[in-house]
Amino acid sequence: MDIEENIHKLLFDVRRSIRYHIRRRSFYDRFNLIVNAISVVMGSATVYGILKAQSQDIALTAAAAVTILSSINLVVGSVRQARLHNDLAKRFIVLEKKITTSTTKDTEKLAEWTSERLDIETEEPPVLHVLNCICHNELIRATGGYGSEHLAKIAWYQRLFASIIDINEHSIKIG
């Protein structure tokens, strides 16, 4: 492989990582927003249930729902995770800018950029492989660089849960 091809592969991987972390950040932001919205509604229902004597069951159910959802959100750490993925995306964007604006593209620069990419990856949480394949497909379609033989075949149920859990990621095939 020549230097240009290696740089192209590195740039593709960096851009895929940017898409991946933006999707992860968006997931955690949406999760936090939904939990907070439900908590506000259920909190209001709790207050209503407490004020009306015959609505005590509503109050207990709403209070339990708020407690459970808030506990899940705390354990998941959606705000912290969103911030982490936002920071990782920014670092990958900085690396992409270095690669695309560099006037010299030699083996020394490639080694430097690869090292920086590996440094960023050491701070990543475990990767969701199905979501990573979705980002791979998105990038291929966006750049128009390859045909469908380079797209990963992802089932609808894998796509549905890609932001939460990997399902049968070993069954994903390219082409």
What tokens appear for 144 in the block? Answer: 């128009």
What residues contact residue 9 under an 8 Å CB cut-off, 6+ apart?
Answer: 1
> 45 pLDDT exceeds 80?
no
Predicted confidence (pLDDT) per residue in 118-174, tens digit: 999 999 999 999 999 999 999 998 887 666 678 899 999 999 999 999 999 888 888
Least confident of 21-25, 33-37, 61-65: 61-65
Predicted confidence (pLDDT) at residue 56 exceeds the cutoff of 80: no
Give the pLDDT score at 89.
98
End-to-end CA distance of the chain: 22
